[in-house]
Amino acid sequence: MGGRGGWWRGKSTPAKVETYTRWSFHTFPFIEVATFALPTFGYVPAPVNWILFLLVSAHAAVAAMTASLTLDWTRGRRPLPVRLLWALGTATVVIAVVSLVVALHGPRGADNGAAAGTVFVGVLSFGIGTLALAVRGTRRMVYGVLGAAVGAGAVAVPAGVSAPGAAVAAGAVVLAAGFFTFTSAFSVWLLNAVYELDEARETRARLAVAEERLRFGRDLHDVMGRNLAVVALKSELAVQLARRGRPEAVEQMVEVQRIARETQREVREVVRGYREADLRTELAGAQGVLTAAGIDCEVSGPVTGLPAEIQSALGWVVREATTNVLRHGDAARCAVSLRMAEGRVTLTVENDGAPGIGSGSGTDTDTAEPGRGSGLAGLRERLREVDGVLRAGPAGSDLFRLTAEVPLPPDSVPEQAPAPEPGGSHRPVPHPVSEVTS
């Protein structure tokens, strides 16, 4: 999707969360410099203010690089940057000590010590919060924050800070470092949770397809297994009879021929039953599969009373649309509605997450575009058999709509039966979504 904002809207939900998380950590260096380094120019005389500014800026840059590489490690894309973590830890301690020395023994003046002391607390807090990205376990993070606070107090007292002042500094480090550590831990947890939920949804979609394949395989096995065993047995008997010159061999081969034709007929019936979709069953199955995948699905409108060929065509539309929502979209909501008016039945499938629709999504035309796959093109062919039309395409900034319209025969008067509702006692067994190449 082109245009302004297409880069962001074209991302999946996990990719959006990861991008947001990364840019959040990329803003931390600017916050650190703006909050702790720039104010030194107003309170600390030159050239000490420049020294503090350059030290804090270098610390912020190292922290940003460490956060980026450590986030890659949390996603399993690179090894843990151990050397960079040690460099950040060392820089945090050194810069904190330098700022403390400046606060106590630097140029005297109004608020000089307070400004340098703020740098001391800020550098420790940002450093500990960034290092927490590489820590697993809440207990270890708490130990890290408390250790930084104790270390700050232990360094402050020998440097000449009074005991109450050291306690205040340690408390400030606990609060600030604790906040940034919690932010880091929550960001990593949220990022991993979103990726795991997305993988679970994809797994459920694949399981639905696999279940349909197993069902079709079982049907073929039931039909062909017994007949092929009889064919093999009678063929072997015919061979034995033929070797002995017995005329009964011809009768056995005639029987084999009859069984082969019967098997061919039964296989056609199985395939025909597989290719014909019942609309009510497909709606119930789509609602069940989408709900299991974490997508809110609402079905409305009358279902029964339609001619069999129209039900089959619309059932395939529901099946293909559900497959596209599961595979290509990034939807949180899907609405399926069926209405009849002026001698036509209209099926509409709308879902949000339109930028995620992939090759299965077509345009508002009657022919498939080159390179767009065969899913919607196949639906148009099925609808054309019942004089129906299919329209598919974006219907807003974040909405995708698929509409199928089919004329009703003049003598067809459908019953106004309600659509299947979730949790109903008479609800049909959900039919898994079959795999349709889109």
- Segment 286-334, tens digit of pLDDT: 887 787 667 888 888 877 678 888 888 888 888 888 878 877 667 788 9
Which amino acid would we find at residue 376? L
N-terminal to C-terminal alpha carbon distance within the chain: 18
Taking only the tens of pLDDT, the chain with its 438 residues reads 444 456 777 777 888 888 888 888 888 888 888 887 777 777 667 787 788 888 888 888 898 899 889 888 988 888 988 998 899 888 888 888 887 777 666 665 545 556 667 777 888 888 888 888 888 888 888 888 888 888 877 777 776 677 787 788 788 888 888 888 898 888 888 888 888 888 887 787 778 778 777 777 777 776 677 678 778 888 888 888 888 888 888 888 888 888 888 888 878 777 766 656 678 878 887 887 787 667 888 888 877 678 888 888 888 888 888 878 877 667 788 999 988 887 889 999 998 876 434 334 343 333 333 333 346 777 888 788 888 999 988 887 778 889 999 998 876 554 444 444 444 433 433 444 333 333
SS3 390: strand
Q: Judge whether 392 and 324 are in contact, CB under 8 Å.
A: no
Which amino acid would we find at residue 355? P
Token code pair at residue 50: 């420049």
What is the predicted pLDDT for the residue at 153?
78
The sheet that has 389-394: what strands, in order across it? 296-300, 333-341, 344-352, 399-407, 389-394
Q: Which residues, including other chains, have CB under 8 Å from residue 195's CB and lie 6 or more apart?
A: 14, 75
Q: Judge whether 403 and 388 are in contact, CB under 8 Å.
A: no
